[in-house]
Amino acid sequence: MKNKNIIHSNEDRTFFNFWCQGCQEVHSIDNTWNFNGDFKNPTFNPSIKVTGNRCMGFGEPYICHSFIENGQIRYLSDCTHKLAGKTIDLIPF
């Protein structure tokens, strides 16, 4: 069964969308990241860093910094959400 997190948008670009349980939103990366080719237990390099402001850009700033390794998300300590420093399984959404 193909991992539901992989979306092919066209021949030149593949996007990997994943549900971030820390931010409670979707994060996306594309084929500029190194990918191990394992759709069931993906690993991507380098790290993924998402920054912004909540509430459509007008709210509190946030940082989500992580690695996806062997089908798990390893959240780094600079994350501003409750999963900072934790490693959890990547879940399909």
- Under the banding of pLDDT at 50, 70 and 90, the label for residue 3 is very low
The Cα–Cα gap between 15 and 29 comes to 6
Strand ordering across the sheet containing 44-53:
34-35, 44-53, 61-69, 72-75, 87-89
pTM across the whole model: 0.80
> Residue 60 in contact with residue 54, Cβ under 8 Å?
yes
The Cα–Cα gap between 54 and 69 comes to 27
Express each pLDDT in 24-67 by its tens digit.
Answer: 888 989 889 999 988 888 999 999 999 988 766 677 889 999 99
The Cα–Cα gap between 22 and 2 comes to 24
Per-residue pLDDT at 68 exceeds 60: yes
